Structure 1
Amino acid sequence: MLRSSLITLWTVLLCAPMLAQDLTVATWGGAYEAAQRKAVFAPFSETTGHAVEALQYDGTVAALRDRAAAEGWDVIDMLADQARVACAEGLLLRLDAQALVGNAAMADFAPHTPTRCAIPQNVYARVMAYDERAFPGIKPTRIEDFFDTTRFPGKRAVQHGPDGILEWALLAEGVPPEQVYGLLSTDRGLRLAFRKLDTIREYILWWDDPAQPAQMLAEGHAVMASGFNGRFFDVARRGAVPVDIAWDGRIIGTEVWAIPATTETARLARRFLVHALQPAIMARFSERIPYGPARKSAFERIGLNPETGIPMRVHLPNAPQHGGRALVRDAAWYANTRALRQRRFQSWLDQEE
């Protein structure tokens, strides 16, 4: 009787469908995550049988430190500089990029190449956008116009921190893009940047959530905004508000894939990276949201948005036709100067007007 029961139980276990292990990915939410779900996550699940659960976080190393183990994060979408910090703290697994994408593909990554703990996946840009309704005549076209409240009056939406605005301040002072980060590494450069920021202090509306600057333009609270190109594209695409982007002074940053050190599914996480880093997958993602692929071979694969029919290449931050000045975000500089920048920024905020 016991033997018969054991045989029956063993037969049931053999015949029962195996439950595929899920993968938990920490990412940014919003339209960005929606594009990832369709272009990256769904194809991975269809191919492998492993479901992908997406969790939203704020992009900080603190969130990785506090939440990854408790929530079972397996893969994380990060800014390149935050990944450097997390890697140095031992919060990320070391990655053998050559083993994951192949030795020949290493030269295909641009503008940044893989690092010890992270591999580039897409590029975005911090850009100046404006409400066309506020300027029926001459339009703002250069980053200097962001600081010109005489010709272009009105409130400016700016991230509540030193990121991006310090670079713009030096560009508006005539500093060549290739000299910006070197100058910001000096006391003289920081004083020059904050002095320029003084000229628009009373016109600034601070934002913390990346969705806010586009909303501020759409709702008429600000006439210009510093924010991410994909957010402004989404508002303009919906057509409710005539929002346009001035590409001059764009700061091109890199998003990377990384694996938290606390993952219990490292093998599956690496399998996901192999999938997500394919040029075809990168191109599919860029067709859904205007963030450029981090591999050069993916660019020519990008076609029309599958839902709107919009040709997407022209809207990408690394599209060659934009012209104007461009600055590649220096991930190493950001990782190494975080405390200094925050301290000087807070000191500037605390000054009396």
Structure 2
Amino acid sequence: MTMKKTILATTALTMSAGLAFAEAHGDMADSMTLVSWGGAYQASQQKAYVEPYLANNEGVTSTWDESSNEAVAKLRAMNEAGNVTWDLVDVVASDAIRLCDEGLAMEYDPDELLADAPDGTKASDDFGDLIVSDCFIPQIVYSTTFGYRTDMVGDTPPTDVCAVFDTEAYPGKRSLEKRPINNMEWALICDGVAKEDVYDVLETEEGQAQAFAKLDTIKDDVIWWSAGADTPQLLADGEVVMGSTYNGRLFSVIEEQDQPVAMLWDAQVFDLDGWIIPAGLPEDRLARVKDFVKFATDTQRLADQAKYISYGPARASSAPLVGKHAELGIDMAPHMPTDPNNATNTFLYNYEWWADYRDDLDAKFQAWLAQ
């Protein structure tokens, strides 16, 4: 899915214009309920743009809800009950597409809602193809990839993602996320399916059976995780030899905690994370959210977020501004999934495909786990 080609040619709102908007549409609410994922990522959001925004807007408060992993189900329930209590929700791109398709997220014009780049480049061009839905406001590019214990892999550290399936060369437990996404793709790639054919194969009953059969070969060696912090902890404790998780979580265990863990970037799966605005918010809450989103997604704020976590900013204009880690003082660019040295063999996640097939494969995956 791409943004509609016809986008209103409007000038991005300045801060004063944002105030004029609020006055024209009623006073802005003085509080916001923001929804995210908890952990290091939510902390990076808090430091990079929530705290500066609140400092610039005296009397405004914000509250976090750490329910992003349940965003689709909870917004469906809130909508059905006619009581949407969330103001802004952080979701992965495929969930944004589902929420947009179901009318639960607000469609927006990026050049009307979001700030221009410092050189005047319109937001629609600055974010470009990362605006994968008419409702999705991109923030970061991250990847799901593998980390491994450097002291548990012998003299030949893994360089290929298919080492995950090689229990002879790399004995020990692995950790994988307790959902089909990424696992099914890696299974097919490591069973000989070309990357460009993965989703065509996975669309068939035979392809799904092939992926499950490959996963069967390591099923008894897998510890399944649900929270992003699980794999870093399992690696730190030496309970697994390798495991998948978000690259920012691995950065934390490697660089911040100084554990004997290394990155396996091969076949990392790029994904996008960003905001959606729930549909049907009252005018005062919507005015506040729009004001906040414009600030939180500007070029400087997205670059600032990279001071705290190794996720690439979604704006092209933010990338040159990525500097050093706020506490460690190390250059952050080499730790980004988008760094050329890390992105030599990536797998591109198909957001639309998973938006269509997620419910069906979730059910099949859970049934397979129970066997």
Fold conserved (TM > 0.5)? yes
Counterpart-to-counterpart distance in 2, 1:291 and 1:144: 24
Structure 2 unaligned regions, length at least 5? 1-26
1:155 and 2:173 correspond: yes
Match of 1:11 in 2: none
Match of 1:44 in 2: 53
Cα pair distance change 1:298/1:244, threshold 3 Å: same
Query: In the alignment, residue 37 of structure 1 is paired with which amino acid?
Result: Q
1:97 and 2:110 correspond: yes
How far 1:29 sits from its partner (Å)?
A: 0.9
Match of 1:65 in 2: 76
Counterpart-to-counterpart distance in 1, 2:77 and 2:50: 25
Assess if the C-alpha contact under 8 Å between 2:146 and 2:245 holds in 1. yes
Assess if the C-alpha contact under 8 Å between 2:337 and 2:343 holds in 1. no
Counterpart-to-counterpart distance in 1, 2:28 and 2:202: 53
Assess if the C-alpha contact under 8 Å between 1:122 and 1:291 holds in 2. yes
Q: Deviations over 1:176-203 (max 9, x none)?
A: 3222222211223212211211111111
Q: Deviations over 1:298-318 (max 9, x none)?
A: 111100012110111111111
Counterpart-to-counterpart distance in 2, 1:113 and 1:338: 20
User: SS where residue 59 of structure 1 aligns?
Assistant: helix
Residue pairs, 1:111-150, within 5 angstroms:
112-150=130-168
How far 1:114 sits from its partner (Å)?
A: 4.8
Assess if the C-alpha contact under 8 Å between 1:127 and 1:249 holds in 2. yes
Residue pairs, 1:1-353, within 5 angstroms:
21-49=30-58, 50-60=60-70, 61-66=72-77, 72-101=85-114, 104-109=122-127, 112-264=130-282, 265-351=285-371
Counterpart-to-counterpart distance in 2, 1:187 and 1:134: 37
Question: Max radius of gyration: which structure?
Answer: 1
Number of paired residues?
334
How far 1:108 sits from its partner (Å)?
A: 2.1
Query: In the alignment, residue 35 of structure 2 is paired with which amino acid?
Result: A
How far 1:148 sits from its partner (Å)?
A: 0.4
User: SS where residue 320 of structure 1 aligns?
Assistant: coil
Q: Root-mean-square deviation (CA), in Å?
A: 2.1
Match of 1:4 in 2: none
Query: In the alignment, residue 319 of structure 2 is paired with which amino acid?
Result: F
Query: In the alignment, residue 355 of structure 2 is paired with which amino acid?
Result: A
Cα pair distance change 1:216/1:84, threshold 3 Å: same
User: SS where residue 42 of structure 1 aligns?
Assistant: helix
Cα pair distance change 1:47/1:147, threshold 3 Å: same
User: SS where residue 55 of structure 2 aligns?
Assistant: helix
User: SS where residue 300 of structure 1 aligns?
Assistant: helix
Runs of 4+ in 1 over 3 A off after TM superposition: 65-71
User: SS where residue 179 of structure 1 aligns?
Assistant: helix
User: SS where residue 170 of structure 1 aligns?
Assistant: helix
Counterpart-to-counterpart distance in 2, 1:120 and 1:19: 24
Assess if the C-alpha contact under 8 Å between 1:177 and 1:326 holds in 2. no
Assess if the C-alpha contact under 8 Å between 1:122 and 1:294 holds in 2. yes
How far 1:280 sits from its partner (Å)?
A: 1.0
Query: In the alignment, residue 290 of structure 2 is paired with which amino acid?
Result: R
How far 1:67 sits from its partner (Å)?
A: 5.7
Cα pair distance change 1:176/1:295, threshold 3 Å: farther
How far 1:71 sits from its partner (Å)?
A: 7.4
User: SS where residue 269 of structure 2 aligns?
Assistant: strand
Cα pair distance change 1:111/1:327, threshold 3 Å: farther
Assess if the C-alpha contact under 8 Å between 1:171 and 1:249 holds in 2. no
Assess if the C-alpha contact under 8 Å between 1:110 and 1:294 holds in 2. no
How far 1:274 sits from its partner (Å)?
A: 1.0
Assess if the C-alpha contact under 8 Å between 1:134 and 1:223 holds in 2. yes
Query: In the alignment, residue 128 of structure 1 is paired with which amino acid?
Result: F
Query: In the alignment, residue 193 of structure 2 is paired with which amino acid?
Result: V
Cα pair distance change 1:19/1:331, threshold 3 Å: closer
Query: In the alignment, residue 349 of structure 1 is paired with which amino acid?
Result: L
TM-score norm. by structure 1 comes to: 0.89
